Structure formats: structure tokens, C-alpha cells
Structure 1
Amino acid sequence: MIKKFLYSQKVAPYVFVLPFIIIFVVFWVYPLANSFEMSFQKVTLGQEADWVGVDNYTKLMGDSIFLKSVYNSAIYMILTLIVLIPFPMLFAVLINNKFMWGRGFFKSTFFFPALTSVVVAGTIFRLMFGEMEGSMINNILGFFGVEPMKFLKGQVTGYIALLSLATWRWTGVNMLYFLSGLKNIPDEYYEAASIDGASAFQKFTRITMPLLKPTTIYVLTISIYAGLSMFIESMMLWNGNNSPKNIGLTIVGYLYRQGIEKNNLGYAAAVGIVLLVITMVINLTQLSFSGMFKKED
């Protein structure tokens, strides 16, 4: 009877998706619901939770350090979008060209940084942008007659260091996404365009970019999430969660500070819920404007 039930054509699809549903409920829905409940409480380890209503959210809106972390995360996200979408797309187009030599070598070279531990990468970049005499970036600047700079103590220079780390790590990953998208564009389109006398730029703007739209939207979506949820890179670059004047503090870094360092779990849960809402609003807005929710005729 059980075997007949499991082999039923009506039941089989549900059996196959059941593991995903269980994992989704246990590791996403339940923690999210629990965090949402905690965000309305004052929760500290070893003590009973007290219901405080919307006090945590009210406090957040007037918390200058939290607002600073939101600002930092937003600027970091925007900068990564500016760099990590057009350049990987361009590199993918160049590598995908049939006249390009050493394509396998360049693919491996660009992707290799993504395999490096973010802890190791962050430590290396901290040394590169450090204030010591032997720091790589200041040595390069000194070669051109520029005075040494304290990169990790200034707002703008700190963004330069963070963006350099992000570019080094994720350019290859995004490039591979665009390469996979380029493989789905038939060569006949380019051949027909060549017969019509189209230039390389016209082929890129009239064929490549429009047909890469699904891939571009995907990369944009995950990049928005990655930019707003960045934490370990900042923590390793500043060797902790306390950068000068909080220039490297992110939303997740502030969540970590409140929840782990200060044992204020209810307040940290409110930070997490706000981060989720911000991310969802931005992504749903850009997906709506890109036409992903429109029904096809």
C-alpha cells in the first residue's frame, strides 16, 4: 500500500520536493519567524525575554551608528554594482571571442581569487593598504612621488580598499555568469549582423546586451544582496569590527556588534529584519522595473 502510494504519479512530485520544503522551513522560515518575534523583545542570554513592542525599531531609527552602517553598506553596494557588472560583462565578451587566445588560462586566472578564503584575502589586502613602509600600495605611490596614505583611516580611501578587495574576489565569478549567458546566444545572429555591415560596437549594443538581460538581472540581484550583507571583508580589512569612526561598519557588522559583542539579541534581530526589508524592497523594485514580473503574451 505504501509503495503504491509513493509510486503514484500524483504523489511522486511532492515526494521529490519534500526535502527542499523541509530544509526551507527548518533553516529559513522558522529562523525568520523566530527572529521577527525576537525583534519585539528584549533578549539577553541567561535571562527571560521581555516584550518591548516596537521599541527596538523606534530606537533603530534614531541610532546614528546604525544609520551610519546603512549608509556604508549602501555606498559599498552601489560601488560594487558600478564595477562588478560592466567590467565582468566586457571581459566575458572579450574572452568569448573566437579569435581570443588562451581563453582557458584567462578564465582560470580571473576565477582563482574566488577560491581564496576571504579571511586570507582580507588579511593580505590589509597589509597591502597598511601604513607600514613595506606596504605595497604606498610603495607604488612613492614610486610616482606621492606621499604615503593612511588608507584604512579615511572614509574615501577605506572604500577604495574595500572595493579593490571586492573587485579582486568577484570579477571572475560574475564573468563566468556572463560567459554562460553568451553561450546561449546563437552565432547566426552575429553572422547576420556582419553581413548587414554592423560594427563590433553595434553587435554588442543591439545583440549581446539585450540577449544578456536575464543574466544581467541575475547578477544585479545577487550583487545587491552581497553588497548589503557584506561583513567578513570589512572585519578582516580593519582587523576587527571597530574601524576608525565606524568608516567600515556595515549593517551585518552592526548586527554582530549588538547581538554577539553586546549580547543584545532582540535589538540585533530588529537590525536583521530591517536589513531583510531593505534588501527585498530594492530587489523587488529593480525586478519590477526590469520587467521580470510581466506576463509574456
Structure 2
Amino acid sequence: MAGLKKLVYSQKLAPYVFVSAFFLTFAIFFVYPLANTTVMSFQSVLPGEVEFIGLDNYTKLFHDEVFWKAVANSFLYMVLTVALLIPFPMVFACFIHSKIMIGGEFFKSVLFIPVLTSLVVAGTIFRLIFGELPGSFMNQLLGYFHHEPIKWLKMQTTGFGALIVLACWRWTGVNILYFLSGLKSIPQEFYESAEIDGANAWQKFFRITMPLLKPITIYVSTISVYAGLAMFLESYMLWTNNNSPDNIGLTIVGYLYRQGIEKNRMGYASAVGLVLLALAMLINLAQLRLTGVLKKEGE
């Protein structure tokens, strides 16, 4: 008993006990599923039947036009959301943080409300807004300009535009809060010194605010890349299912869901998932390398 008590109260053992929860969680919920998925990607997994087929899933995947359509959609969605959900929230955060802004807390709360809205509800509302009937909100707006109703969700450009509008409506408030947290950490003495030197508002923004917000910007861009590639539910709710016209809203995750859940081809879906993981890692690593977070040895 004395030996057990000594082991329990050991200062050398305590750090390992505290970090063991993380490593167990990481191993159970990431390492094991990843290893299992990797094995399944080389198999044909059907109900009651598992067969090793080598690289057949990957060969079929890279020759599948629907898969490349999903990749193109996901990549375009990621690029557009990153291009819109970084500069605009940054500017909005600067306005809210400004001393001359009236009702900044009110606007901050209002812009955060979409995040609290269920994505199922939001997708349904946007589907009604961009409906094809003359009574839908967007077609009513067109009616004021004497334009014929448009089938928004049945065309590539307008359908994808609706998806981007939904993304911006939902996530702008979150990114504003990220940038506000970064703005609060910038000492006001920097701006006061710049004013003494005669700097105007634009010069202060480009010479002080943007450089000092770089860590937040890198973080927001990193999670935006992941969110863009992993998007699924927005598209699913906007088109009420995973089969949009001509696959205009199909994403990589939607394609994975179609193959794994709808068609019960888990081996093929595992290959899709691993390709998605590789794409996300490569893009994020390239982005971190370009922004200087990851540096080569000797730099």
C-alpha cells in the first residue's frame, strides 16, 4: 500500500497523468479512425462483405468527373469565403472598435445572432428567399425593376451565389469577434504616436492595424480554409437534399456522404475522405508557409 500511495502522489508521474487524457482522446477519436479509414480505402466494403482491392478505389476516384466537380465546387467555395470573410469582418471590426462608433455593442450583438441560428432553419429561410416562384423575396426585388423571375437555385452562378451569401450571413459575426479581440490587444499608444506624426486613418490602418492583426488573420484564414473544404450542411439544406441540379452545389463532403451513406460504399467513401484530408493539409501548410508561420531551417 505504501508503494501504491507513493506512486499516486509522485510528482514525476503527475504530469503524465494530466496529459494522458489528451493523448487517449486523440488516439481514440483521431488516430484509430484515421488508421481504420486508411485500411478501408483499400477495400470494397459492402454489407457482410469486405474485399481487399488495392488502389482500385483511388483509380476510380481520380477518373470520376462528379468527384472533380465536387472538388471544384469546394475549392471555389473556399476561395470566395476566404476572400470575403477576412477583409470585410476586419473592416467592420475596426468600425465597431472605433471611438466615434455609436452603438458598437448593439451592432456586435446583432451581427453575432446568425451564428446562434440553427443551420437547418437558416438554410430553409434562404431557400425561400431564393425560391423560383414570383413571390420569393429575391424575385419580388427583381419585379420592382421589371425583371422576370429567376430560378435562382437551378443555375450555377446564382445558385452558388446564394450559397456564398448564406456563408457570409452566418460567419461574418464570428470573424468580427476574432478581429475585435485582436484590436483590443493593440496598445493605443501606437495610434497616438502615429497621429502626432501626422498619419491619417488609412495610414494607421495599413501601417499599424493590419500588421498587428496578422496572427488573428492567419488563424481566421486557417479555419476558413478548413470550413470551406468541409462545408456540407449549408448545401444540403439550401437544395433540400444532396442532389442539386447538375451538382452545382455538390461538395467533397457531399460526395463522400453520397457514396458512403446513400450508396453504402464505405471503402470508396474512405478514399474520398483521405483525399479531402490531404487537400486540406496541403492548402493549410502552403498558406502557413506563405504567411511565414512555417519557415525553412536557416531562415
| Range into which the TM-score falls when normalised by the shorter chain | over 0.9
**Alignment check: 8 A CA contact 1:43 1:264 kept:** yes
CA gap of 1:3–1:88, structure 2 versus 1, over 3 A, is farther
Aligned pairs for 1:25-36 within 5 A: 25-36=27-38
Q: Distance in 2 between matches of 1:238 and 1:184?
A: 42
* Cα distance in structure 2, aligned partners of 1:258 and 1:214: 38
Percent identity over the alignment is 64
How far residue 14 of structure 1 moved from its aligned partner, in angstroms, is 1.7
Matches within 5 A, 1:47-196: 47-196=48-197
Equivalents in 1 of 2:194, 2:62: separation in Å? 54
Q: Per-residue CA shift, 1:52-105, capped at 9, x if unaligned?
A: 111100111100000000001011111101110100000011101122111111
- Specify the alignment match of 2:40 in structure 1: 38
Distance across 2 between alignment mates of 1:6 and 1:148: 73
1:94–1:115: structure 2 CA closer, same or farther, 3 Å change rule?
A: same
Matches within 5 A, 1:178-257: 178-257=179-258
Conserved? CA contact 2:133–2:149, under 8 Å: no
With 250-259 and 287-296 compared, the bigger mean Cα shift is at 287-296
| Distance in structure 1 (CA, Å) of the matches to 2:168 and 2:86 | 10
Tell me the CA shift for residue 244 of structure 1. 0.5
Any conservation in 2 of the 1:40–1:51 contact (CA below 8 Å)? yes
Looking at structure 1, the residues matched to 33 and 172 of structure 2 have their Cα atoms a distance apart, in angstroms, of 32
2:289 counterpart residue number: 288
**Counterpart Cα distance in 1 of 2:8 and 2:195:** 56
Q: Distance in 1 between matches of 2:27 and 2:203?
A: 48
Closer/same/farther in 2, CA of residues 242 and 7 from structure 1, 3 Å limit: same
What is the aligned-residue RMSD (CA, Å)? Answer: 1.4
Query: What is the distance in 2 between the residues matched to 1:7 and 1:223?
Result: 44
Structure 1 runs not aligned, ≥5 long: none
Deviation at 1:296, TM superposition (A): 11
Q: What residue number does 1:20 align with?
A: 22
User: Structure 2 length as normaliser, TM-score?
Assistant: 0.96
CA drift at 1:44? 1.4
Secondary structure, counterpart of 1:53 in structure 2: coil
Q: How many residues align?
A: 296
Question: Match of 1:49, SS?
Answer: strand
Partner deviation per Cα, 1:187-225 (whole Å, 9 max, x = no partner): 111111111110100000000000100100000000000
Tell me by how many angstroms 1:2 deviates. Answer: 3.6
Name the aligned partner's letter for residue 34 of structure 1: N
TM-aligned CA distance change 1:6 to 1:192, over 3 Å:
farther
Match of 1:50, SS state, is strand
Whole-Å separation in 1 of the counterparts to 2:124 and 2:157: 20
Distance in 2 (CA, whole Å) between partners of 1:234 and 1:135 is 19
User: CA deviation digits over 1:226-248, x for unaligned, max 9?
Assistant: 00110000000001000001111
Once the two structures are TM-superposed, the CA of residue 145 in structure 1 deviates from its matched residue by 2.2
CA distance in 1, matches of 2:227, 2:11: 40
- What residue ranges of structure 2 are gaps of 5+ in the alignment? none
User: Which letter maps to 1:76?
Assistant: Y
Q: Give the counterpart letter for 2:140 in structure 1.
A: N
1:3 Cα deviation from its structure 2 partner:
4.1
* Cα distance between partner residues in 1 of 2:199 and 2:85: 28
AA of the residue aligned to 1:158: G
Letter in 1 for 2:83: I
Deviation at 1:143, TM superposition (A): 1.2
Shift of 1:134: 1.6
Deviation, structure 1 residue 6? 3.8
Would the alpha carbon gap of residues 7 and 187 (structure 1) be closer, same or farther in structure 2, given more than 3 Å must change? farther
Letter in 1 for 2:208: I
Would you say the 8 A contact 1:6–1:15 is kept in 2? no
Question: Which TM-score applies when normalising by structure 1?
Answer: 0.97
Matches of 2:49 and 2:77, distance apart in 1: 38
